[in-house]
Every structure is written in C-alpha cells, then in structure tokens.
Amino acid sequence: MQLDIFKPKAPPLFGLDISSSSVKMVEIVDAGKGVYRVERYIIEPLPREAVVDGNINNLEAVTEAVKRGWKRLATRTKHVAMAVPSGAVITKKIIVQAGLREEELEVQVETEANQYIPFALEEVNLDFQTVGPAPSSPEEQEVLIAATRKEKVEDRVAVAEASGLKATVMDVESYAQQAALAMVVGQLPNGGKDQNIAVVDIGANVMQVSVLRNDQSVYAREQAFGGNQLTADIQNRYGMTLEEAENAKRSGGLPDDFEAEVLRPFMENLSIEVQRALQFFFTSTQFNSVDHILLAGGSAVIPGLDEAVSTRTQVNTLVANPFATMQTSPRIQLKRLMVDAPSLIVACGLAMRRFDPV
C-alpha cells in the first residue's frame, strides 16, 4: 500500500485521530458559498497505555473505542482520513530537474530516499509531493519526500478495518494540524503574514512546540510535560486513585483549595515550560521574537491558562479554535465544542481532506 500522504481522494470522509488519551472523530461538510459546517464530532476515551508514544499497543482496546465512537458519531460515512505521528515520519526536501514525468520522478525519489532513510525501502511507505520551483534555479524543482515504517501505517489501517471503516487517506499529524491551524492563523491581524506563530500543543504526556511562518514550519521541539502532570498533582494532593483524579479533573468537584494549591502552580509550571521552549527557538534559529502563541491540546482550555502564558512570555496568547469561522449543525452543543476545539485540531485537519481538489 502506498502511503497516500498527499494524494487527494474523492469519497466523503471524516477525520479519525488516535491520540494517547482518546479517539477523536470530526465530520465537516460544505455548507455552500465557501463556508464549512461542523456536522458531528465525538471524543471517545482510551484505556491507559493503549497508545504510547504514537504506537498502538493494544489493538483490541483501540478498535473497541473506534467502534463505540463511530456508533456515537451516528454517521453513514465509512471512509476516514487518519494520520501517523509526526515523530514516526522522516521528511526531506530534495531538488530535482524540473519537468520530469511521474515515472522519472519516482525513480529519482527512490534513489534519493535510499540516502536519507535508515531502513530498507521495502520496510517503509514512501510518498512525495512537488512543492514548486527550486529557490535557486527555475530549471529545478523542490520535492518533499515523506517516509514511515510500514507497521505505523498498517496498525492504523487495521484498526479502521476491524471497526468496519476504510482508511482512504493517511496523513501526518503535523500536516493535519497545520491545515486546521491555517484557519486560525487567517483570523490573526494581516492573516498572520510574515509573523512567527508558536503552536503549543499540550498533550497528555508531551508538549509539542512548533513555530509556523507563512504556513511553513520553521521549528519543532517536544518537551516532557503534559496534562497528566495535573492529574498526578491532584492524585498526590488529595490521596485519590489515578482514575478518581482524572475524573475529578474533567468534571470538577475538587476541594476549595484546588485552584490555589494545585491548578495555579501547574499553570505557572506550564507557562515556564512554554517560555523555555521559546528560548530554545531563539537560540537555535535566526529569529528572536514570536508574534503570537496558539494553545492546543486538551489542557489548552484551562480557564486563565492563556493569560498565564501571555503574562509569563509577554506574547499575545490565544486558545486555538479552528471551528470559529464554521457553522455548526443543530446536533452540536456550541459551548461544548468551544471546550473541545483545542483537542480536535488534528481531527479537524484530517476532516478537511474531504475538500482536497480531486
């Protein structure tokens, strides 16, 4: 099977994002006049350790969660766009002669891939996309190569198939995220043009920081800090089990001192981690400023977190909501969607693959 990272597909599909804590599904439809409508979405929790570092450890548990989620989603659409974790994908831009035929380009890509990919080519799914003319010479073109180990793709395809679904697009999480964030960036002053936009995605265990400039990623880094830290803090402070702490974090009902003693220190630590990430960015690139910070991931919606990060970094900070300019179907609770939006960014980007030009 080709890793169809870039190839557009025709049938209606929805986005299916498998993260370490949950399965997320988003279906977006064309409402006409260039407006999109969020038709339906769900977040289905996963058992702990079912997915670790992007690897599906427990195929059965993940399949069961996808089946439950699809039932709750209540759609007749069975085609899905999925993504492999960015860390599992090797990408490389190469320069080739302009005007090559598809077959010639494939040969060239395979030859180049042999140099850059530390696995035998039969062990990987390889795909490529022409980016455009090479900056140095109009006689040459830039081509983006993407490769991932076959099992990363096969595990996700297996989950879809075992759930009665069909994976028609396999993307990369970072590209899906960028597609969704383009809609957020478009709302910034001057459409975010020529600005450095730091995206801070706070997952369960890892905080991923990337910096976008004119729709291109100019920097990416991971830091070992995530929402599970807050769960652990609740657990230690109030003598709860892991499950009790996780439930209390989501549904509230914690003692009166929770905000002052647990939540504020967590937000402060998270803000310091963001500040550190920006320092790494400044010292390892030619840039020395960031214009905006976009918060994504499950912890992004903690009330006041955007202010805490903004105060610490002195940078305008927003909670990323790619659905802000979209319509919503009557079955969606808008208030709930606002809370869930930062967790749904990859799923939203995948759902947008439905509108790729065929």
* Residue of higher predicted confidence among 92 and 282: 282
Q: What is the mean pLDDT of residues 330-351?
A: 96
Mean pLDDT score across all residues of the chain:
92
Beta strands in 22-172, from DSSP E residues, in sequence order? 22-32, 35-45, 51-52, 55-56, 79-84, 89-97, 124-133, 140-149, 166-172
Q: What is the mean pLDDT of residues 312-321?
A: 97
pLDDT value for 358: 63
CATH of domain 1-187+324-358: 3.30.420.40
Structural domain spans, the chain: 1-187+324-358, 189-320
Closest CA to 148 of 165, 170, 179: 170
Confidence of residue 346 (pLDDT cuts 50, 70, 90): very high
pLDDT tens digits for 145-199?
989 999 999 999 999 999 999 999 999 999 999 999 999 999 999 999 999 999 9
pLDDT value for 39: 97
Pairing, β 89-97 against β 124-133? unpaired
pLDDT value for 190: 94
Distance of CA 332 to the CA centre of its chain: 22
- What is 189-320's CATH topology? Nucleotidyltransferase; domain 5 (3.30.420)
pLDDT tens digits for 319-332?
999 999 999 999 99
How many Å apart are CA 101 and CA 268, to the nearest integer?
A: 55
How many Å apart are CA 101 and CA 105, to the nearest integer?
A: 6
Token representation of residue 24: 């997320």
Whether 316 shows a pLDDT value over 80: the answer reads: yes
Whether 10 shows a pLDDT value over 70: the answer reads: no
Q: Which residues of 134-149 are buried (b: 16+ CB within 10 A; e: fewer)?
A: beeeeebbbbbbbbbb
Q: What is the mean pLDDT of residues 227-250?
A: 91
Least confident of 236-240, 247-251, 271-275: 247-251
Confidence of residue 235 (pLDDT cuts 50, 70, 90): very high
pLDDT value for 7: 58
pLDDT value for 5: 60
pLDDT value for 243: 87
Distance of CA 90 to the CA centre of its chain: 16
How many Å apart are CA 314 and CA 6, to the nearest integer?
A: 37
pTM listed for this prediction:
0.89
Task: Report the range out of 69-73, 220-224, 248-252 with the highest average pLDDT.
Answer: 69-73
Please report the sign of the dihedral spanned by the C-alpha atoms of residue 97, residue 6, residue 354, residue 211.
Answer: negative
pLDDT value for 2: 52
pLDDT tens digits for 37-74?
999 999 999 998 999 888 999 999 999 999 999 999 99
What proportion of the chain, given as a percentage, has pLDDT over 90?
A: 67
pLDDT value for 1: 46
252's CB contacts (< 8 A; 6+ apart) are none
Token representation of residue 224: 């070992």
pLDDT value for 120: 84
Pairing, β 13-18 against β 22-32? antiparallel
Token representation of residue 151: 């099992």
pLDDT tens digits for 266-286?
999 999 999 999 999 999 999
Whether 118 shows a pLDDT value over 70: the answer reads: yes
118's CB contacts (< 8 A; 6+ apart) are none
How many Å apart are CA 119 and CA 117, to the nearest integer?
A: 6
Whether 8 shows a pLDDT value over 60: the answer reads: no
